[in-house]
Chain A
């Protein structure tokens, strides 16, 4: 009997009022169920509007709220902690017809979500820069840099990061032109504050190699392959001083 009730209530929320007939004869059942429907929809939409503030700045909260309600119908939350709700939202936006004339929107949403991940990630002290100065030449092939738990980065085929950064200003630009050159962005949170850092191709390749658990030597080679004129030492220094890494670790042997 009780199993039947919970199923019936879910069905009634989805519009099948008859399912709830054994438990309710309220003539205004639909209006009363709407209170629950509205609370569920608002809970999802509020969480997503809060999760994607840069998207909200560009399209406005009503547009994003309406899109969020549609998204939530197809992708309802699977856990009660809504802090991380919306991981699928950036990809979903690519399929959302009303967003078709805003091809930069999924990328902005992806950066907002990476910001949230950096915000909520585990705390850890950043790698002490002195650790790298103490290395012997042979260490570069047998050690790897472990990314800081709060470090998040992505690259884009267009200048989405520049647009995202411009939209963080208190009075964002009224009009913009999306640059065509590829760009990357890195979020670092060595302590409590998040710093966004633009990534040139070399620095992005370096971080990606570290994420793939490759050696320092391989990471350096990947950076130079992506950007032959890169000042490798300066690139390492900027990332280390910014707090991109947590520690040096030996390579895992397969």
Chain B
């Protein structure tokens, strides 16, 4: 079952029963793959029941594809088991790293987008795709720190990664907005530079100002509704590339299920809008 170009929401345990009963046309659900890397139990049973009726997306947050080491073999095997069991419509991971020599930092860390790192990351994405026997989508991270040592800007790095590894893109419009704000470049220009054909999914989420540096530094906090400027960038992106499966992503301050579905209806109506140039 494919989400085609409908809107979905993050699936959280407190919403399992409502998600199972939901009847919205085209609704689909995304989960963090790591939260289901268990041998058994109620979580897996809920996901199976919900996935029987609606498309699922497995979103990885910890494979550490931009590390200077290969992805963890045990993690890849666990991901393969999930893919085999749930047959998700979409599988995705991040352009970031979180693991170094056996220690895992639960975050999405930055790196210089050098030629060497393009090679390394492409090899790691290829390893991931080989392990689960299907192509994946790679998500742009939110950035908080300008680094030196880049050979490519991020849009170009992602385009080359898609060419080399045969993966697609998950475009997180909120991350684009946050990174562009924090590092001082044009979010619209970044989105315009992404290869349209590679985009297989879009994320929309909320952000907040850094408690220390204030509005100078925006944090990709996933604990608030999608901001208006992010909605405008989203409308502009799908106007250019066409409708894509779009997720309302929420990981903190989880609202009532109905509120998430309400926010999702806004994305769904933008996706269903007649294209201006058709």
Contact = CB atoms under 8 A, between A and B. Distances in A.
B72 interface: yes
Contact of B62 (A2, A33, A81, A189): A81
A3 B68 contact: yes
Contacts of A192: 41-42, 45
A11 to B, nearest CB: 11
Nearest to B34: A81
A2 B217 contact: no
Nearest to A72: B106
A101 interface: no
B40 A120 contact: yes
Given A32-B217, A83-B38, A40 B120 contact: no
B41 A119 contact: yes
A168 interface: no
**B40, B41, B97, B112, most chain A CB atoms within 10 A:** B41
A80 B104 contact: yes
Interface in B85-135: 97-100, 102-107, 109-112, 114, 116-117, 120
A79 interface: yes
A6 B40 contact: no
Contact of B217 (A31, A39, A40): A31
Contacts of A119: 41-43
**B43, B72, B105, B111, most chain A CB atoms within 10 A:** B105
A189 B43 CA distance: 13
Contacts, number: 137
B37 interface: yes
B35 A1 contact: no
Contacts of A7: 100
Contacts of A18: none
B5 interface: no
Interface in B32-59: 34-35, 37-45
A47 interface: yes
Interface residues of B, number: 50
B40 A78 contact: no
A40 B104 CA distance: 9
Contacts of B261: none
Contacts of A24: 145-148
Contact of B148 (A2, A23, A122, A150): A23
Given A28-B213, A43-B107, A81-B62, A121 B41 contact: yes
B41 A189 contact: yes
Nearest to B148: A23
A34 interface: yes
B106 A44 contact: yes
A10 B107 CA distance: 12
A6 B110 CA distance: 9
B107 A77 contact: no
A12 B55 CA distance: 41
A22 B148 CA distance: 7
Nearest to B66: A6
B109 A36 contact: yes
Given A24-B148, A26-B146, A150-B40, A80 B98 contact: yes
A31 B212 contact: yes
A189 B41 CA distance: 8
B236 interface: no
A140 interface: no
B189 interface: no
A9 B103 CA distance: 14
Nearest to B147: A23
A83 B34 contact: yes
Contacts of A2: 68, 111-112, 114, 116-117, 120
Interface string A189-204: 1001100000000000
B145 A33 contact: yes
**A10, A13, A80, most chain B CB atoms within 10 A:** A80
Interface string A116-140: 0001111110000000000000000
A76 interface: yes
Nearest to B210: A35
11 contacts: A1-B116, A31-B210, A35-B145, A77-B106, A79-B62, A80-B61, A119-B43, A120-B43, A123-B45, A149-B40, A189-B41
Given A1-B149, A193-B42, 8 more contacts: A9-B111, A31-B212, A39-B107, A77-B103, A79-B104, A80-B63, A120-B39, A124-B40
